[in-house]
Amino acid sequence: MKLLLLWLVVGNFITGCTGSQSITDKIDTAAFKHVGGTFFTEPEIATMKEVHLDNGVLLGEVVIVEGAVSDISDNFTFLVLSDSTARMLIKLTEIDDAEPILTKYRPQILKVLGTVETGNKGRPIIVAKSLNIIHNIEEDHL
């Protein structure tokens, strides 16, 4: 009984005062950053063309997209990914460590875990939860 109470207190302490993100979401976000996959959820792997041509089924859903980094904003609030099918605006405001990741590693190819939302003029955007570097500039010099 004491052990259960201790776990409840520790769990409440960990998840309290950190927003609405559950502990499983936090674990999935951290796992995606390091290994490129999730433990508790099964996000849909989609091409950017699939997200653009979607008829609303993906809206609000968690997806994984992969592509080459085309552009990064000066304030690290968004980036543009592109693949052979389309380009996609990725909003980075939900990621605390986006700037250090993008400046230190200078990724060329990224995998992004994020939620599909509606942007300007009804176009889809992805609000990133986590970034996973597939290939960066430093690897070219090895």
Query: The domain spanning residue 103 has which CATH number?
Result: 2.40.50.140
Strand blocks (E) in 28-137: 44-45, 62-72, 78-82, 87-91, 107-118, 124-136
Residue 14 in any domain: the answer is no
Domain annotation covers residue 15: no
In sequence order, the β-bridge partners of residue 44 are: 63
- Neighbour-count burial of 13, counting CB atoms closer than 10 A to its CB (0-12 exposed, 13-18 middle, 19+ buried): exposed
**Is the residue at 97 inside a domain?**
yes
Question: Of 20-24, 49-53, 100-104, which range is least confident?
Answer: 20-24
pLDDT at 120: 86
Strands 44-45 and 62-72: parallel
Region 115-127: mean pLDDT is 93
Percent of the chain whose pLDDT exceeds 70 = 81
**Inside any domain, residue 44:** yes
**Tens digit of each residue's pLDDT (9 = 90 or more) over 39-90:** 989 999 999 999 999 988 999 999 999 999 999 999 999 999 999 989 999 9
Q: Is 8 helix (H, G, I), strand (E, B) or coil?
A: helix
In this structure, is residue 3 part of a structural domain? no
- Domain assignment present for residue 4? The answer is no
Task: Answer whether residue 2 is part of any domain.
Answer: no
pLDDT of 27 strictly over 70: yes
What is the number of structural domains in the chain? 1
CB atoms near residue 54 (< 10 Å): 15
Residues ≥6 apart with Cβ < 8 Å to 142: none
Please indicate, yes or no, if residue 110 is contained in any of the structural domains: yes
Q: What is the pTM of this model?
A: 0.81
Contacts for 139 with CB less than 8 Å, ≥ 6 apart: none
Is residue 16 predicted with pLDDT exceeding 90?
no
* Domain membership of residue 92 as a residue range: 20-140
